[in-house]
Structure 1
Amino acid sequence: MELEVRHLRALCAIADAGSLHRAARQLGVAQPTLSTQLSRIEQALGGPLFTRERTGCRPTP
């Protein structure tokens, strides 16, 4: 999978917002859509990019 600009925008929005819900709102998409997109990106890259917690998401080291 080749990362597209929309994928990079999604990753940056999640990192900046600190949560999938807030990032989805900023990007104008539904949260489940963004969550699915993130899962596909992570699967293509071979590992988790964010740690999901009750309080939000944080980038993995």
Structure 2
Amino acid sequence: MNTNTDELDLVWGLEAISKVIGRTVRQTHYMLSTGKLPAKQIGSRWVAERGKLIRFFMEDAA
């Protein structure tokens, strides 16, 4: 059985997400809290899929 969970590359935490997108923690927090980034908050931690973050910024640049 082929599942997508094998392909997920999750980025956990505000600091880690900010490093992936090349923004400050403060900028990243604003973008997450206003729903501008494709991520979810689970408890007090943010989680995002690395591929979705990269695609999100690639679409903006195009």
The TM tier, using the shorter chain, reads 0.3 to 0.5
Q: Could you say which structure has the larger radius of gyration?
A: 2
The alignment's TM-score, normalised by the length of structure 2, stands at 0.45
The structure richer in helix per residue is 1
